[in-house]
Amino acid sequence: MFARIARRYDAANRLLSGGVDQWWRRRLVKTVRSIEPRDVLDLATGSGDVAFALARALPATAKITGMDFCQPMLDQAIAKQEGMAKPGADISFLPGDGLALPCPDGSFDAVTVSFGLRNMADRHRALSEMRRVLRPGGRVHVLEFSQPYAWFRPIYYFYTKRVLPTIAGWLTGDRAAYDYLNASIEAYPGHAEMSEELKKAGFREVSAARLTLGIVALHTGTA
């Protein structure tokens, strides 16, 4: 599915979120930058937006690995990288499955995943893998859709069910992918439940910041 929409993925994100997705990612990057990591894994990196933002924000000595199991999405990230000046920190884009990361234990100071955990077939296994590849004291940063404030839910779900798939279908030619998006958002746990999942995976000092009326949450935890 992601392979089918890879070439229009960025444009669809900008349009369907009204550009707010960029602000969400800036919040993520600011949180990561505060811990001054040397080695960062950006999991489900997609077209590389978070990896590039991290590279601009972190010192040139930092190393960033963007990983995704959808090669056409990685191809988009690599094409962007080839067309831009070196943004700062080094970035490598590699294929990898979030349920079986091809990385040794304790490889990273930070793991980020932006709108990708929702698509993992087994969230607990994915979170456990993230914890495994973090060094002791390393931090996970999960930016993901969540459940909005109760009063806003009817408006939000009208948009995601009725409006969003129509616009996305016109833009990408693949309405089915965005019908899936709506279904996956509606089925995803709220911020409190997601915090508990992080704890069950072995993370401590777990926190969640609700953004934009609760439709997105930024979760963090320490390995």
The mean pLDDT value of the chain amounts to: 89
Q: What is the mean pLDDT of residues 160-185?
A: 74
Does 108 reside within a domain? yes
32: pLDDT strictly greater than 70 = yes
Per-residue model confidence as pLDDT tens digits over 19-29 = 788 899 999 99
**4 pLDDT band (50/70/90 cuts)?**
low
Total structural domains within the chain: 1
Does 113 reside within a domain? yes
Does 104 reside within a domain? yes
Does 155 reside within a domain? no
Per-residue model confidence as pLDDT tens digits over 94-105 = 999 999 999 999
Per-residue model confidence as pLDDT tens digits over 208-220 = 999 999 999 999 9
Q: What is the mean pLDDT of residues 106-135?
A: 96
Q: What's the rounded Cα separation, in Å, for the pair 86 and 179?
A: 37
% of the chain with per-residue pLDDT over 90: 67
What global pTM score does this model have? 0.90
Query: Domain limits at 47?
Result: 2-148+189-222
Q: What is the mean pLDDT of residues 17-40?
A: 91
Does 98 reside within a domain? yes
**8 pLDDT band (50/70/90 cuts)?**
low
CATH code (residue 217): 3.40.50.150
